[in-house]
Structure 1
Amino acid sequence: MADANPQVPVPQVPVTVLTGYLGAGKTTLLNRILTEQHGRKYAVVINEFGELGVDNDLVVDTDEEVFEMNNGCICCTVRGDLIRIVGGLMKRRDRFDGIIIETTGLANPAPVAQTFFVDDAVRAKTKLDAIVTVVDAKHLPARLADSHEAADQIAFADVIVLNKTDLVTPEELEAVERTIRGINPFAVIHRTERAALPIEQVLDRGAFDLDRILGMQPKFLEDSEHEHNEDVTSMSFEVEKPIDPEKFNAWIGVLLQEKGQDLLRTKGILNYAGEDRRFAFQAVHMIADGDFIGPWKEGEPRVSRLVFIGRNLNRPQLRRGFESCAAD
């Protein structure tokens, strides 16, 4: 007798990448996640730079499965280890609801995110939910001055936990937030002390939930200048005509190949010609991904929007390229 429901697709496991510069409060936030009474279980992957790891000992004793990688920075030498660990986790998928990866404070989150694009087995079973960056409100100005990783971590973020707000004045806090907005105007920012915030604000966010983007950034549809930071800037564009997917894929493919090193994050919602569903596109450097995320809402303007965050961005060139993807 045939199976009445053969090969029911298994939901992809959400993965949260937790990053932030040294001392920002990543482990404090991770411990909050692991001790909150939220009824969910997480597999945790901790990366620490150096031969002897201590981060694993700083994480509270819980029922969660914790894996430590300390043979190098996750963003440059141990991506293979990460793939193997995630692959092993998938063999006991029923034991957890999601995966949290805490990077070393010196890590660029890009290669971590790319892991969930480039490996077919990992990509089929997991889905990058969001990059969460913890920022030290007191020391961010100094870190931006002496470390490009601090700016990269902010630029890649979908959610920013602006921590240690009790250590600065209201005026300093406003200035720090303006600096963050100059690097990444589209991430949602939560102000915290000791990384205290509702866990649902950092987990299961859905990086390409258009409603969430508009909720946190009502002017998302507007083309805007954000040039406060001399190094990392962001630009957004919109096209009102439907997009030809073949034209877009050809253009974005060449763009990422030629300029990928400077393009930290690219993300957008596209209105493909002849398609009633919204298409969510994202790229990390040269690695791109995308999928349909549901129908356009009734009465919602079907406008394609694309955001670039990176270095050496050429506004006229990007605008012309995106506009050239409009369907005939």
Structure 2
Amino acid sequence: MAAGKVPCTVVTGFLGSGKTTLINHILTGEHGKKIAVIEVGVDDALVLDTKEEIFEMNNGCICCTVRGDLIRILTKLLKRKNRFDHILIETTGLADPAPVAQTFFVDDDLKHSLRLDSILTVVDAKHILLHLDEEKPDDVAFADRVLLNKIDLVTEEEKREVVRRIKAINRTTKVIECQQARVELDRILGLQSFDLEQILAMDPAFLKDHHHHEHEHEHEHGHGHEHEHKDDDCAQCAAGDPDHSHHHGHSHKHDSRVSSVGIECEGALDMQRLNEWLSTLLQEKGADIYRSKGILNIAGSDDKYVFHGVHMMLQFGSSAEGLGKPWQPGQPRFNRVVFIGKDLNRQELNDGFRSCMADANGSGSNGAA
């Protein structure tokens, strides 16, 4: 984590999910943290009825409303940098979280002072499936954490189905259950999800196709403990195979067009081919690729490369820059990548990525990423 940078979390979610309730808990609760909350895409439904652009709360938190330029209000807040520990950026209503996240990639001044910590999506356990069936799963696709609110309104079977659908869209996200949007802040803040070093810890389990429709994933609860459980999760569906029909004991009429594709393979990649393939992929499909991340083994180098991206914006790093350790002698080398997006073609992505492999003797171009 970059020293001195203020962490920022983007909070998104469907209308009525409990996002506003969560924000109000943060703005009024005695949690001991000084947090600035920025509302983006404000319409008539403000969290606080105030005409002030920056409003300080009794618990030391700050509420801001943005009717114009997010970069301007962030710059203004930085002048009060020693006054708070974290920034929450709430995308109000139907605002798209992607432009907010991309702000941290493109503005040089902000990159020196702020860091994007994670994207949190709040969903209503009772009604989330309706939103997903209406082809509005983007918020789930972007999420590093999904706050599954109002779990008291659904049965255990309904809850399992909700988690299954969330995981079919975004297999890398973690689900935190809660009621009335109450959750310990340490479970949703300070995650460092966009730090490149975190990608080195990426769990390979979700990349693998599991026989008999078994897929294991971590499932967190908002009341202070976590456990693992298995749910019926079809790898082909999660990978975006539109021709695959599935029967898990009961019928699902709607499977989202948004899904995750994971690829893992051994061998070394040719850097030039990889750059060309990624550039072409993002030019042609970048609008539909919401999130991407990966660990890479590059031919001719002992450095371990990592990347993550939001749409067309990619950030690369390597062990040469202090991100983890280089490949060790005798250590198995691998490539592990994930794409989350809409209408993904697993076969095309898999074939395209594997076309970037260096030939058997390791020859190939090794230009900078």
Conserved 8 A contact 2:39-2:89: yes
User: Is 2:153 the partner of 1:158?
Assistant: no
* Residue number in structure 2 paired with 1:68: 65
Deviations 1:141-174 (A, max 9, x none): 22223352xx000000011111100001111111
Map of 1:86 onto structure 2: 74
Bigger Rg over Cα: 2
The amino acid that maps onto 1:256 is L
2:291 pairs with one of 250, 265, 268: 265
The one-letter amino acid of 2:280's match is V
Task: Report the 3-state secondary structure (helix = DSSP H, G, I; strand = E; otherwise coil) of the residue aligned with 2:267.
Answer: coil
In structure 1, the partner of 2:124 is: 136
Conserved in 2, the CA contact under 8 Å of 1:159 and 1:189?
yes
Distance change >3 Å, CA 163–CA 255, structure 1 → 2: same
1:197 paired to 2:183: yes
Q: Which residue of 1 aligns with 2:99?
A: 111
2:241 is aligned with 1:241: no
Alignment correspondent of 2:170? 184
User: 1:255 corresponds to which letter in structure 2?
Assistant: L
Cα-to-partner distance string for 1:89-108 (whole Å, 9 max, x where unaligned): 22332222221101113122
| C-alpha displacement of 1:48 | 4.4
Distance 1:258 1:18, change over 3 A: same
Q: Deviations over 1:182-234 (max 9, x none)?
A: 111110111111122221111111215247642xxx61342543147331121
Q: Distance in 2 between matches of 1:202 and 1:297?
A: 32
- Which residue is equivalent to 2:348? 317
| 1:85 positional shift | 1.1
Determine the structure 2 residue equivalent to 1:6: none
Greater shift in the superposed pair: 226-235 or 166-175: 226-235
For 2:6, give the aligned amino acid: V
Query: Does structure 1 residue 168 correspond to structure 2 residue 191?
Result: no
- Per-residue CA deviations over 1:123-154 (Å, capped at 9, x if unaligned) read 23222111000110001122223352xx0000
Q: 1:305 aligns with which of 336, 342, 359?
A: 336
Summarize deviations over 1:5-45 as a string: whole Å, max 9, x none. Answer: xxxx8532211001100111112222334455554322221
1:251 equivalent in alignment to 2:277: yes
* 8 Å CA contact 2:40, 2:70 repeated in 1: no
The correspondence for 1:295, drawn from 320, 325, 341, is 325
Q: Distance in 1 between matches of 2:135 and 2:206?
A: 29
Look up the equivalent residue of 2:267 and give its one-letter code.
K
Q: CA deviation at 1:61?
A: 4.5
TM-score (norm 2): 0.74
Q: Which stretch of structure 1 is more off in the superposition, 36-45 or 129-138?
A: 36-45
User: Which of 293, 308, 313 is the matching residue for 1:282?
Assistant: 308
Aligned to 1:46: 39
How far apart, CA to CA, are the structure 2 residues paired with 1:165 and 1:221?
28
Do the aligned partners of 1:277 and 1:294 also contact (CA within 8 Å) in 2? no
Contact 1:48 1:55 in 2 (8 A): no
Instruction: Read off the aligned partner of 1:184 and give its amino acid letter.
Output: N
Distance in 1 between residues matched to 2:183 and 2:135, nearest whole Å: 27
Q: Any conservation in 1 of the 2:28–2:58 contact (CA below 8 Å)? A: no
Measured at CA, do residues 321 and 103 of structure 1 come closer, stay the same or move farther in structure 2, by a change above 3 Å? same
Q: Is the 8 A contact 1:183 1:229 kept in 2?
A: no
TM-score, length basis structure 1 = 0.83
**Which ranges of structure 1 fall in alignment gaps of 5 or more residues?**
1-8, 72-77
2:64 & 2:34 partners in 1: Cα distance?
14
CA displacement at 1:289 relative to structure 2: 1.9
**What is the CA distance between 1:307 and its match in structure 2?**
0.8
Q: Using a 3 Å threshold, how does the CA distance of structure 1 residues 32 and 242 change in structure 2: closer, same or farther?
A: farther
Q: Show structure 2 runs of 5+ residues with no match.
A: 210-234, 241-253, 363-369
CA distance in 2, matches of 1:95, 1:245: 44
Q: 1:273 Cα deviation (Å)?
A: 4.2
Q: CA deviation at 1:295?
A: 1.8
SS of the residue corresponding to residue 132 of structure 1 reads strand
Structure 2: how far apart are the matches of 1:291 and 1:53?
41
Q: Distance in 2 between matches of 1:275 and 1:34?
A: 49
AA aligned opposite 1:267: K
Structure with a larger share of its residues in helix: 1
State the aligned residue count: 305
